Amino acid sequence: MTTEPIRDKKQLQEIAAYWLKLGNIRNHVLIILGVCTTLRIGDLLRLCWDDVYDKGSGRFLSHITVTEQKTGKTKMIALNMQAVRALEMLYPHRRGDYIFAGNRKDGRPIGRVQAWRIVKVAVLEVKVDGIISCHSLRKTAGYHLWKSGTLPALLMDLFNHSSYEVTKRYLGITQDERDAAYRGLELF
C-alpha cells in the first residue's frame, strides 16, 4: 500500500485549518510548507529560520536552497505567497533555529513520528479517505500541479525523479481519472 495525495482541495484546506483553529501555528505551517515546497518530511524538518529569512533585510527569502537527504541533490525552491504568509504567522513565535522546533530544551526539530501524528490527527478529524501520511503532502502538490496542467517533465524535475514511470505512480492517477480522460476526448 502506498500513500496517496489529498485530491480534494477543500479537505486540504480543512486539514491545514484544523491546527490553526486549535491555536497550533507550527503544525498549521508544517502542512502548508509540506505541500508548497514538495520537500520530503526529513528535509522539511531540517529547515532553519536562516534558510527562509534574511535577518539583514528583515524579509523572507524568495527562494530556499536545500540539499536533499535522500538524493544528495541540491534543489532551489521558490517560496510562494501561501508559504510566506504561513511562515510570517509562525516567525514571531519562533523558538530556536529550526522552523519546526519541538518543545525540548535542546531546540531540535520535531521528529518524523511527531510530524506523522500531526498529519494523521488532522486527516482523521477532517475524515479524509485513503492512505494519507507526511509523504502525501509532497504528493498532493504534484497531483494538483498535474491537474492544473503542469507538464510531466517539469513534475519529474520538481521531484528529482529518475523516470516518468516513477512520477506517474507518484501522482496517484486513478482509473476514474483515466476514464474521464477517455470520455472527455472529443476530436470529431
**Which one is catalytic: 10, 55, 63, 70?**
70
3 state SS for the chain: CCCCCCCCHHHHHHHHHHHHHCCCHHHHHHHHHHHHHCCCHHHHHCCEHHHHEECCCCEECCEEEEECCCCCCEEEEECCHHHHHHHHHHHHHCCCCECCECCCCCCCECCHHHHHHHHHHHHHHHCCCCCCCHHHHHHHHHHHHHHCCCCHHHHHHHHCCCCHHHHHHHHCCCHHHHHHHHHHCCCC
**Which one is catalytic: 18, 53, 98, 170?**
170
**Which one is catalytic: 26, 40, 75, 139?**
40
Q: At 150, which amino acid appears?
A: T
Establish whether 85 is a catalytic residue: no
In 91-183 the beta strands, taken as DSSP E runs, fall at none
**Which one is catalytic: 7, 138, 139, 143?**
138
Establish whether 53 is a catalytic residue: no
Establish whether 70 is a catalytic residue: yes
**Which one is catalytic: 26, 75, 135, 139?**
135
Establish whether 21 is a catalytic residue: no
- Give catalytic residues, as residue numbers: 40, 70, 135, 138, 161, 170
